[in-house]
Structure 1
């Protein structure tokens, strides 16, 4: 069935509650593992029915945030989802306490039960109303960002469409574009501050109602992190400062030299070459056609997957008015259908967002027949290995998209993969600081952000010169994860370290690396993050020796690519 043919119907919440509670009672009364499994299978069918309708409403609201019908349905799910999570918690409590737990773990895997334990800790009936209010404020943030209408060069653009102007070889154009984009954020700065104030206050209150000291550990539990915590991520950030930050500074300095500038400013960081970046040599139809060829030649598995996505209209890629910013992949359970959402804007990112989100989509396509909804996707940091690694596995086909600028693409992609890790660590440390001191004022939060920019990205006082909103530390407000998904960002850094291992492995033994990747995708979410890393034959990012081994080899690869760049 094509996406446009998938019928949406608002779930009957009262009936869902009644049926799920009845089945949980049956599960708890089961005298054999087989009877318990029968009840669980029926519960999971109902859960997937609800999730299917949620995803259809979420996608259609993302595609057009102005659509009044799906705006109302999104509001319904903002209210309903916490009530459904109460049912989920009741199920998890029954799972944890079941006398059949050992037998069920043998059949369904231990991971579901470990997830149930951390997820149960982070939910209680007393926070349902708080969660509904949080959902509403998150929706306010997304709608505010999507509402941007930026006059520029005689036309009007949204934030996604403005990105191409920040890559112009003309410095004045870049500067004007950056001023226009962040002018929108500055104009609505009080609203962005208020939304985040509300979110931090409400999330802290929820955590304290559940017995947490603050929202930090609750945030980790809500991210389903079962085998590491704040201490491990703090050590990981320290390793990033030691091994990544110096190389990132070296990369930026060489960028400055190529651009012939005395110093890099905010308007310069998206331009890598004086005569222009590597951009796709065709329109979205050109990108999709070359994507089809790429995935056909990569493997039989990716060929079947991408043709399925095309045949069933499971991608919405073009940026347009009213569309939510960003990109994502999700999964519609009852149709066993991944869905890719993106905002093409004529830049290199059109190709990398396609390969990135296709990595997510390919993984869930490979694990779409898992018995449990929790296993369709792995936890976030493991899921990002699938997406970021796909970006590297498709390198061989990048000349199709970039033609004579392929070497420019290779260098830019690898360099950005490295420098982005430092930014990811800054975002993570910022969130720890905010939720450890929820009483911070907006000005204090912005000052903390500027402090972290100096540590991780070497952005001194002159970097934002003449742009008060950014000089004061407002840049983080464009990062939707900080508002929408607290503590979801270090995941990208952890995954990038694993993806870089695949990049290096491909140079040595591409077929072996690909077999490992296929194995990883097929496991879905049936293992924890560190178990998946181990099963794939990768080294843990939490081991400092991993970065100590990977970074010098990536530096060598960058130096080799530099010799191939046009003079």
Structure 2
């Protein structure tokens, strides 16, 4: 299977070779859209397509600045290019964005467009116009620059283990070692290194909290949580639904996690945080690949076994250099799939060493990449950007679907079974952590005047609510109090986290369908992805053959399925 016959989309509004250098020369295209007056439905639709093209070009330019900066956070030149966009272009984009949104609504009241997704797009624009405030533009600039500080601080963290300087992801690999004293030493080294910066990170978050609260107040909201529900277009559920989700996780998932952890404790005896990732039978960590090249090669084979198109997507990305997967000093933490709006071929960034977790990250981001390819031919960028509850369904479902084809990574049958079991245990363990982070964020923004002590105390209280009852944290409380600071979403993408939980439940359902009938299950999965954001969340989940449901009864049913698989 060869890569896709790739051809970059031809522009119809901007010159083919146009590149953004400054706001002065970019502004004329926005001014054109502002001044142009469509005379009928067809010319209005062309206006929307020109607007989409311009927004896609701008989005991709920003994407590359962000990608290059996160790949090398210690490069001052790359930071400067990113900062230049944030400070000198983005404020103008925000102002013109509101002008064009208002013009879109005026035209929508005059001309009728009958396209799938159009009504949802207009609904989102109405919400954006409702919450836009001119005075927030400079605040968003300040917020983005604060987020860069977080990347710089955490990207520069290293520890020394046996005379080797290691990044945090590299050191994390040692936590799977069968050598328990080594695991403890590494866990303490990582935790101490994070603790060194806890005051700096606390102050940084306090600055972000203040800026975000002011944004919300300016827009007429009592708190930033309510503002974000509007800004993120959460039309299909409310904060109360989130609280119900937390409760359901506490009642249906944690008992299952407790049972699994108790089994591990019975083999290890004393059970500490540094035991969470280790094999309780003393086996060495699973090594699914040797290096970045091997990871990508095996991912291609794995995806080919699911569907040949999926392999061609990965090959196309590789041919364009759209991967940076190995961990190194100076690289931002985490992993992401960045959709490139104009090109339609995304970029995958991650911090791989050689662990099972890295394999899961690859297929997770690969699921996002598949989604990007499935929607690349939809006519407007609004249609190509589904809500995160659906975007994460694409990625988390691919984790589980691909698991049926992990023999390429684990040719030994026992290793394969062990890998699947470890991943399912991680899936179950992730749900309480998602509830922890989400509930903490609700509290942070509902109580913006809290003290630093209040913040740490509340985190420990929520952490303990969703923590398994087996792991012994005695003597390690000082690390526990600031463990929230490692969750980059809290700093960089507030409230973008519960989507993982909702999508994880959906992914378990997709996987169950795939196991029952691989052909039909995959068809439904692709059908859902190909719709982009042309239907609401519940309809998109239905297209995948599943329910958008996080009731206790539904979650309990899914837990029974996962237990049976284990």
Establish whether TM, by shorter chain, passes 0.5.
yes
Q: 1:163 to 1:138 in 2, by over 3 A?
A: same
Q: Bigger shift: 193-202 or 151-160?
A: 151-160
Answer whether contact 1:281 1:401 (CA < 8 A) is retained. yes
In the alignment, structure 1 residue 106 sits paired with structure 2 residue 99:
no
In the alignment, structure 1 residue 408 sits paired with structure 2 residue 415:
no
Cα distance between partner residues in 1 of 2:439 and 2:338: 27
Alignment: residue pair count: 550
Per-residue deviation at 1:485?
Answer: 0.6
Cα distance between partner residues in 2 of 1:352 and 1:401: 11
Deviations 1:293-316 (A, max 9, x none): 222232122122122122222111
Answer whether contact 2:346 2:369 (CA < 8 A) is retained. yes
Cα distance between partner residues in 1 of 2:7 and 2:191: 38
SS at match of 1:524: coil
Q: Bigger shift: 89-98 or 167-176?
A: 89-98
In the alignment, structure 1 residue 270 sits paired with structure 2 residue 277:
yes
Match of 1:464 among 463, 468, 473: 473
Per-residue deviation at 1:8?
Answer: 10
Match of 2:483 among 463, 475, 479: 475
Cα distance between partner residues in 1 of 2:430 and 2:55: 36
Q: Bigger shift: 144-153 or 120-129?
A: 120-129
In the alignment, structure 1 residue 126 sits paired with structure 2 residue 135:
yes
**Equivalent position of 2:3 in the other structure:** none
Matched ranges for 1:157-306 at <5 A: 157-258=166-267, 260-262=268-270, 264-273=271-280, 274-306=282-314
Q: Bigger shift: 103-112 or 175-184?
A: 103-112
Q: Bigger shift: 482-491 or 62-71?
A: 62-71
Per-residue deviation at 1:7?
Answer: 9.7
Match of 1:386 among 394, 414, 437: 394
In the alignment, structure 1 residue 359 sits paired with structure 2 residue 367:
yes
Deviations 1:29-55 (A, max 9, x none): 333111212222222221111111111
Q: 1:459 to 1:116 in 2, by over 3 A?
A: farther
Q: Bigger shift: 138-147 or 222-231?
A: 222-231
Cα distance between partner residues in 2 of 1:300 and 1:65: 36
**Equivalent position of 1:565 in the other structure:** none
**Equivalent position of 1:426 in the other structure:** 436
Q: 1:95 to 1:254 in 2, by over 3 A?
A: farther
**Equivalent position of 2:516 in the other structure:** 508
Cα distance between partner residues in 2 of 1:289 and 1:343: 17
Kindly report the root-mean-square deviation, in angstroms, between the aligned alpha carbons of the 2 structures.
Answer: 2.2
Deviations 1:434-483 (A, max 9, x none): 000011112211111111111111368x8333335324x11000000000
Per-residue deviation at 1:99?
Answer: 4.3
Answer whether contact 2:441 2:494 (CA < 8 A) is retained. yes
Cα distance between partner residues in 2 of 1:7 and 1:202: 38
Cα distance between partner residues in 2 of 1:174 and 1:8: 53
Cα distance between partner residues in 2 of 1:329 and 1:356: 9
Cα distance between partner residues in 2 of 1:535 and 1:504: 15
Matched ranges for 1:309-458 at <5 A: 309-404=317-412, 405-458=415-468
Per-residue deviation at 1:107?
Answer: 6.0
SS at match of 2:351: strand
Q: 1:316 to 1:429 in 2, by over 3 A?
A: same
TM-score (norm 1): 0.92
Match of 1:517 among 510, 520, 525: 525
Cα distance between partner residues in 1 of 2:550 and 2:305: 35
Answer whether contact 2:117 2:535 (CA < 8 A) is retained. no
**Equivalent position of 1:90 in the other structure:** 99
Q: Bigger shift: 450-459 or 351-360?
A: 450-459
SS at match of 1:402: coil
Greater length-normalized contact order (CA 8 Å, ≥ 6 residues apart): 2
